[in-house]
A = this chain, B = another copy of it.
């Protein structure tokens, strides 16, 4: 059973009566059949959020026409909006350092057909995972970072990403700070996996911090990268139970299972345009 091609519209705007009716009216008027509709209202902010996905197999507008034709509607309601299509595959760069677990996990999902993106390039500040990239036939770009070359390398990275037409960056356990220029160019398009239950244990060596504090549960958090370290909008989190029996290295090892599944799920939601950022928080239409 093949899935129909769909259009997906993410919206947020001030709340008022009639919004759902108006948007669904546009779709009905052009013979679209709604496959999924989720809306959310934040009464405190008087804010309206919606994700709507509809089959465009019989739609009477061409893909390129839909955006322009939405113009009057979205202006009338002061809507922020994003339109995308299931047929457009994201082009993803995977940034890694030395640890392989998130990388292999994403590559295996991709090979199994569970992650509908193009993996354009694997980027690393080390050579260690080059063989992993080669095994899967994906270009590997090595950018060693030192104090001296950092600024040049960051510029070179951005250029390289442009050449590969990358639109989404995944920090799959990349242990370098991302440059402000890269963050600005890929606003809310850079996903990180932090190995703690944020906001607990911000910064370096979170498993060591967790061990020191004696917590009984550890976690992992996937968030969009923003200028402030580990403070970006949280997309997904998961946790597992630990005990006094677990050493720091046990926590590191156990935590990898969290990290890879949390990052993969966040990426999946991201590429299906299920995540809407609003005031440093996310609305996830999962």
Which positions in A face B, CB cutoff 8 Å?
15-21, 24-25, 27-28, 31-41, 43-44, 99-101, 104-105, 107-109, 111-112, 114, 135-136, 197-201, 213-217, 219, 233-239, 241, 243-245, 247, 253, 256-257, 261, 264, 280-284, 286
Could you say which residues of chain B place their CB within 8 Å of the CB of A200?
197-200
Give the distance to chain B from A14, nearest Cβ to Cβ, in Å. 12
CA distance A90 to B178 in the complex (A): 42
Q: Are B101's CB and A108's CB within 8 A?
A: yes
CA distance A25 to B41 in the complex (A): 19
Could you say which residues of chain B place their CB within 8 Å of the CB of A41?
34-36
Could you say which residues of chain B place their CB within 8 Å of the CB of A114?
253, 256
Q: Are B237's CB and A216's CB within 8 A?
A: yes
Given contacts A105-B108, A197-B200, contact A217 B219 (CB under 8 A): yes
Q: Are B215's CB and A198's CB within 8 A?
A: yes
A237 in complex: contacting residue of B16, B217, B256, CB < 8 Å = B217
14 A-B residue pairs with CB within 8 Å: A17-B28, A17-B31, A20-B34, A20-B37, A21-B21, A21-B25, A40-B245, A101-B108, A101-B109, A213-B281, A216-B284, A244-B284, A257-B261, A261-B261
> Which of A20, A25, A104, A233 has the most chain B CB atoms closer than 10 A to its own CB?
A20
CA distance A237 to B218 in the complex (A): 10
* Identity of the chain B residue whose Cβ is nearest the Cβ of A34 in the assembled complex: B20
Q: Are B99's CB and A112's CB within 8 A?
A: yes
CA distance A100 to B136 in the complex (A): 14
Q: Are B214's CB and A281's CB within 8 A?
A: yes
Could you say which residues of chain B place their CB within 8 Å of the CB of A19?
34
A214 in complex: contacting residue of B17, B197, B233, CB < 8 Å = B233
Given contacts A114-B253, A253-B114, A281-B244, contact A39 B40 (CB under 8 A): no
Could you say which residues of chain B place their CB within 8 Å of the CB of A197?
197, 200, 217
Give the distance to chain B from A216, nearest Cβ to Cβ, in Å. 4
CA distance A151 to B250 in the complex (A): 44
Could you say which residues of chain B place their CB within 8 Å of the CB of A24?
18, 20-21, 24
Given contacts A21-B21, A283-B244, contact A104 B100 (CB under 8 A): no
Q: Are B37's CB and A17's CB within 8 A?
A: no
Could you say which residues of chain B place their CB within 8 Å of the CB of A257?
261, 264
Given contacts A100-B111, A284-B244, contact A21 B28 (CB under 8 A): yes
Q: Are A17's CB and B38's CB within 8 A?
A: no
